[in-house]
């Protein structure tokens, strides 16, 4: 076998130009495919990060009847034993209590629907970094009886710092809830929709306002990343029993999952076209090689070389061409994409404005996840193996007399 490998390697460099052109086509294919995959996965990761850090967290525990209609009547009591059980998992970074509701925010004759979040300020800030988004005023303190609101909502209601906001809604079990709250701060939320409707108040203040003492709509369970979430979610699914239920961000935000999957499908089509071009390039080279060396093959078989061994040598040559392209492509794409991941490409003009309107940072992000690289390597290797079948079949069908006269 060692002899066959040496022979195949030497045969490649008998025609250096042909070999280098073929390897170059594979190299650029791997590089472009890795670059495109990295750009896609980087944007998906950032999209998930926005969803997780600015609202949902990776997982949430609710009352089992809450998510279907998000009724404020389907609350549950804060249970320290449940919180301790969630925190007992080493993968869990944070367990964040929340009380969420909807109501009417008013000022003078102006009124707008609003999302009300009752939060524990210090704990909530560890996930969503709300304090960093304050554009005017200050962040909520423990036992604070004021609110912070999105600056989009403040502009619509024509309110400023320290003005009074009126909130009217339905409280727990149908009670009427109405109150006046001083505006402690204004935030610029990443999501334009939330920026026009968000109201944050301290958890105990919110519980008192809604008549829901010690009640919660959710416990946000946060972990390091999406990969850790998958395993932790399976464990919590087994542990969390009625009357609670646990959901991950994919179940809470199915539209984001669908958007990622549809975009990824488009990427697969583009990469498939690229791989087809690469495949024909390799196949064309191999066919040319077989035609040019047909007389050589006839001589080798005539002096005693077995067709099977010759077929193995040609198969190894094909694999070598694929491996050289893969190795060179990955070698160049690795440092390039690591640099790009550390330095996202800033977007400008209308594109940047459009992304900001949708709640995304105006940058083109890149990923250096292992699958960005090994997927390309595996794909090209499989293509090389399949194309390697052609010279094997061609060699086994060679007629020595015809080959010698070719």
Q: Along the 406 residues of the chain, how does pLDDT read in single tens digits?
A: 688 788 888 878 888 888 888 888 889 888 988 988 898 888 888 888 777 877 778 899 999 989 888 888 899 999 888 999 998 888 998 899 999 999 999 998 899 999 999 999 999 988 888 888 888 999 998 888 999 999 899 999 999 998 999 999 988 888 888 999 999 999 987 777 788 889 999 999 999 999 999 999 999 998 887 888 888 999 898 888 888 999 998 888 888 888 888 888 888 888 888 888 888 888 888 888 787 777 877 777 777 778 888 888 888 888 888 899 999 999 999 999 999 888 888 877 777 777 766 666 777 888 888 888 888 889 888 988 888 888 888 877 777 666 666 5
Helix pair angle (16-51, 307-342), 10° resolution: 40
Extract the tokens encoding 360. 């995304």
In the DSSP assignment, the letter for residue 213 is: T
Query: Is the omega angle on the peptide bond into residue 390 within 30 degrees of 0, that is, cis?
Result: no
pLDDT at residue 201 in the model: 94
Extract the tokens encoding 132. 């960093």
Global pTM reads 0.75
Beta bridge partners of 155: none
In the DSSP assignment, the letter for residue 1 is: -
pLDDT at residue 16 in the model: 85
**332's torsion region: left (phi>0), alpha (psi -120 to 50) or beta?**
alpha
In the DSSP assignment, the letter for residue 131 is: G
Extract the tokens encoding 123. 């704990």
Overall residue count recorded for the chain in this entry: 406
Q: Are 142 and 205 in contact (CB under 8 A)?
A: no
């Amino acid at each position: 076998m060692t002899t066959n490998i040496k022979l195949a390697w030497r045969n490649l460099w008998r025609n250096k130009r042909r070999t280098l052109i073929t390897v170059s086509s594979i190299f650029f294919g791997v590089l472009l495919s890795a670059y495109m995959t990295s750009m896609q996965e980087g944007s998906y990761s950032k999209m998930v990060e926005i969803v997780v850090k600015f609202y949902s967290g990776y997982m949430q525990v609710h009352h089992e009847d809450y998510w279907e209609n998000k009724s404020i009547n389907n609350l549950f009591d804060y249970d320290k034993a449940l919180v301790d059980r969630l925190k007992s998992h080493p993968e869990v970074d944070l367990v964040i209590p929340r009380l969420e509701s909807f109501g009417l925010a008013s000022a003078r004759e102006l009124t707008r629907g609003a999302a009300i979040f009752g939060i524990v300020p210090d704990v909530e800030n560890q996930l969503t970094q709300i304090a960093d988004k304050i554009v005017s005023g200050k962040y909520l303190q423990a036992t604070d009886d004021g609110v912070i609101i999105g600056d989009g909502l403040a502009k619509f209601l024509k309110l400023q710092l320290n003005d009074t906001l009126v909130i009217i809604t339905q409280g727990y079990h149908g009670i009427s809830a109405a109150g006046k709250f001083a505006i402690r701060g204004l935030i610029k939320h990443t999501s334009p929709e939330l920026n026009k409707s968000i109201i944050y108040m301290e958890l105990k203040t919110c519980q008192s306002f809604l008549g829901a003492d010690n009640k919660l709509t959710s416990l946000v369970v946060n972990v390091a990343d999406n990969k850790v979430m998958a395993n932790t979610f399976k464990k919590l699914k087994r542990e969390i029993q009625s009357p609670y239920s646990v959901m991950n961000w994919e179940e809470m935000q199915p539209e984001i999952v669908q958007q990622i999957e549809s975009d990824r499908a488009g990427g697969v089509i583009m990469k498939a076209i690229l791989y087809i071009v690469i495949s024909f390039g390799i196949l064309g080279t191999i066919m040319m090689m077989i035609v040019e060396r047909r007389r050589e093959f006839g001589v080798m078989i005539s002096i005693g070389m077995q067709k099977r061994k010759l077929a193995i040598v040609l198969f190894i040559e094909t694999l070598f061409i694929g491996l050289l392209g893969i190795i060179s492509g990955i070698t160049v794409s690795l440092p390039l994409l690591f640099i790009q991941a550390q330095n996202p490409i800033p977007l400008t003009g209308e594109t940047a404005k459009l992304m900001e309107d949708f709640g995304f940072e105006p940058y083109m992000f890149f990923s250096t996840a292992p699958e960005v690289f090994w997927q390309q390597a595996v794909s090209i290797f499989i293509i090389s193996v399949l194309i390697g079948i052609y010279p094997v079949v061609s060699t086994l069908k060679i007629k020595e007399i015809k080959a010698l006269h070719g």
